[in-house]
């Protein structure tokens, strides 16, 4: 008997214990790969406030997170903690995408479970390195910028695909090479190598968001490029900031026109 995919993915999302969430996510992904899931009954999506999070880290505003530095061991630990927290949020974001929006093709749901499984692996990599540096996930305050956008886009799968993978997660493609360079200069080659793994996978994750965004635009008979930039203007009225990793964004499915519009000042740059 195949198990209810949506019930199981919601169980992963609700789990508040970190290790329980990791275990359930990996188990569900393995089950789905062997054909052990049924997609017959979508059911009731969880509230956007029901994402399971542990008691720590303390969540604060973006201006109140500890300053990140590469000059000291603790400074690097704070940086690695911030990345670890991003990966934790990314697990919940992918699980939420897989349970929130009804009437999508089955491949949509399995794509986002695959992303959640990979994000869980990324979290494990970064948490292990954080422990090597003498810290634990939850030791430092963190912010919820990624999840804030999940709440703003909970009503519309098209907006979710446009603004979480293609804006917030794509920003990771822009900044990761610079972080790696600073880590290597600080002598932390291992962390830089771990980010190679994450960077490669994240190109695929942004591409999944791009693919489903375009699928939805086609279904609604709207222009994807114009729609994307209209949504940027709506949700980011102050603009986005470069620089942009053109090669990585092309690999993630951004069109040449989209990249040209990002670069030519249609969206704010540094």
Instruction: Check whether 270 has a pLDDT greater than 50.
Output: no
Per-residue model confidence as pLDDT tens digits over 142-154: 987 777 888 999 9
Instruction: Check whether 29 has a pLDDT greater than 90.
Output: yes
Q: Packing angle between helix 189-219 and helix 170-185, nearest 10 degrees?
A: 170
Instruction: Check whether 58 has a pLDDT greater than 70.
Output: yes
Answer whether 100's CB lies under 8 Å from 47's CB: no
Per-residue model confidence as pLDDT tens digits over 146-186: 778 889 999 999 999 999 999 999 999 999 999 999 999 99
Residue 50, domain member (yes or no): no
Instruction: Check whether 261 has a pLDDT greater than 50.
Output: yes
Q: Which residues pair with residue 37 across a beta bridge?
A: 3
Judge residue 266's burial from the number of C-beta atoms within 10 Å of its C-beta, 0-12 exposed, 13-18 middle, 19 or more buried. middle
Instruction: Check whether 1 has a pLDDT greater than 90.
Output: no
Per-residue model confidence as pLDDT tens digits over 82-91: 999 999 999 9
| Domain with 228 in it | 3-42+55-263
What pLDDT was estimated at residue 78? 94
Per-residue model confidence as pLDDT tens digits over 43-54: 999 998 889 999
Instruction: Check whether 41 has a pLDDT greater than 90.
Output: yes
Residue 216, domain member (yes or no): yes
Residue 268, domain member (yes or no): no
Q: Is the dihedral of CA 146, 162, 264, 201 positive or negative?
A: positive
What pLDDT was estimated at residue 265? 63
Instruction: Check whether 239 has a pLDDT greater than 90.
Output: no
Residue among 229, 230, 105 at smallest CA distance from 157: 105
CB atoms within 10 A of CB 10: 22
C-alpha separations of 125 from 39, 46, 69, 119, 154 in Å:
31, 28, 20, 10, 29
Per-residue model confidence as pLDDT tens digits over 197-227: 999 999 999 999 999 999 999 999 999 999 9
Residue 269, domain member (yes or no): no
Percent of the chain's residues with pLDDT above 70: 97
Residue 48, domain member (yes or no): no
**How far is it, in rounded angstroms, from Cα 176 to Cα 173?**
6
Instruction: Check whether 136 has a pLDDT greater than 90.
Output: yes
Q: What's the mean pLDDT in 63-74?
A: 79
Residue 270, domain member (yes or no): no
What pLDDT was estimated at residue 149? 87
Q: What's the mean pLDDT in 115-127?
A: 98
φ/ψ of 3, rounded to 5, equals -90, 150
What pLDDT was estimated at residue 240? 85
Q: Report the domain count for the chain.
A: 1
Residue 49, domain member (yes or no): no
Q: Which residues pair with residue 59 across a beta bridge?
A: 142
CATH value at residue 226:
1.20.1260
- Whether pTM > 0.85 for this model: the answer is yes
């Amino acid at each position: 008997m195949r198990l209810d995919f949506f019930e199981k993915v919601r169980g992963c999302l609700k789990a508040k214990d970190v290790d329980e969430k990791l275990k359930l996510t990996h188990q569900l992904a393995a089950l789905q790969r062997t054909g052990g899931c049924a997609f017959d009954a979508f059911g009731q999506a969880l509230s956007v406030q029901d994402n399971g999070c542990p008691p720590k880290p303390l969540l604060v505003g973006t201006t109140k997170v500890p300053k990140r530095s590469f000059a000291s061991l603790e400074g690097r630990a704070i940086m690695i903690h911030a990345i670890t927290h991003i990966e934790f949020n990314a697990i919940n974001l992918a699980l939420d995408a897989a349970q929130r929006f009804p009437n999508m093709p089955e491949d949509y749901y399995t794509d986002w479970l695959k992303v959640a499984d990979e994000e869980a692996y990324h979290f494990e990599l970064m948490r292990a390195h954080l422990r090597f540096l003498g810290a634990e996930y939850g030791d430092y305050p963190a912010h919820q910028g990624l999840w804030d956008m999940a709440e703003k886009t909970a009503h519309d799968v098209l907006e979710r695909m446009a603004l979480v993978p293609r804006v917030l997660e794509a920003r990771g493609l822009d900044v990761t090479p610079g972080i790696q360079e600073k880590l290597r200069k600080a002598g932390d080659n291992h962390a830089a190598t771990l980010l190679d793994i994450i960077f490669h996978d994240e190109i695929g994750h942004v591409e999944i968001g791009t693919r489903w965004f375009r699928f939805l635009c086609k279904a609604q008979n709207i222009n994807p490029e114009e729609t994307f930039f209209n949504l940027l203007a709506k949700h980011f009225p102050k603009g986005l900031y470069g620089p942009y990793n053109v090669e990585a964004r092309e690999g993630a499915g951004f069109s040449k026109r989209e990249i040209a519009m990002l670069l030519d000042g249609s969206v704010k740059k540094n």
